[in-house]
Amino acid sequence: MSLEDQILTNMICQIDKNVRIFTLDTGRLFPETYDLIDETNKHYGISIETYLPDAQKVESMVKEKGINLFYKSIENRKLCCAVRKLSQLPRALEGLDAWFSGIRKDQSVTRFYSKVAEWDEENGLLKINPLLNYKDKDVFQYIKDNNIPYNKLYDKGFTSIGCQPCTRAIRPGEDIRAGRWWWEEPEHKECGLHQK
């Protein structure tokens, strides 16, 4: 439900509102993110499919590692991302030949070498990144010019929005992904959804 995702939703809805649009709900999202899902559905007259993690796997992980396990180690954080987010992606992609992503090169060092169209080896289908070469200013201008609903946390200094306990607003001069997993080094700042 990032700015980029909202742009893609806008583009898709101008072509065909019957295209499947989905989001992965980790169970730890900001209230503003849930509000945006509802607002987006109403704005476009669509129903975004929401995929939730397996409750038993979440319960087992929390019982073994604790509710805020992600602060303890990169391994724990990646486990949490895998259980809460990555595990439902195969279900969401089932039966598809391709999927669209809102990633951009200038978001992080881990995304710089991505391509507009690339083979997603992990999921066995084509991954298309149409906004890959957009700059921040392009994204904000597109949102403004097209009156697209967006997460109100962007107005509070957030530049990348994920799970509530793992995301904060950035400080002046910080990288745009600095608010995600701020306790980790930049080369680790991916949930695994967009890694090669």
Tell me the C-alpha distance between 64 and 115, whole Å.
38
Query: How many structural domains compose the chain?
Result: 1
Q: Looking at residue 196, what is its pLDDT?
A: 44
**26: number of Cβ within 10 Å:** 22
Q: Looking at residue 95, what is its pLDDT?
A: 94
128 in a domain, yes or no? Answer: yes
48 in a domain, yes or no? Answer: yes
**DSSP E strand stretches across 26-124:** 49-51, 98-100, 117-120
Q: Looking at residue 174, what is its pLDDT?
A: 87
194 in a domain, yes or no? Answer: no
195 in a domain, yes or no? Answer: no
Question: Is 191 among the residues known to form the active site?
Answer: yes
193 in a domain, yes or no? Answer: no
Q: Looking at residue 83, what is its pLDDT?
A: 97
CATH of the domain at 69: 3.40.50.620
41 in a domain, yes or no? Answer: yes
78 in a domain, yes or no? Answer: yes
Q: Looking at residue 194, what is its pLDDT?
A: 43
Minimal CA–CA distance to 130: which of 17, 5, 2? 5
Domain that holds residue 28: 3-188
**DSSP E strand stretches across 52-183:** 98-100, 117-120, 125-128
Tens-digit pLDDT profile for residues 119-162: 999 899 999 999 999 998 999 999 999 999 999 999 999 998 99
Tell me the C-alpha distance between 179 and 183, whole Å.
9
Low-confidence ranges of the chain (pLDDT < 70): 108, 186-196
- State the catalytic residue, choosing from 80, 81, 163, 191: 191
Q: Looking at residue 189, what is its pLDDT?
A: 52
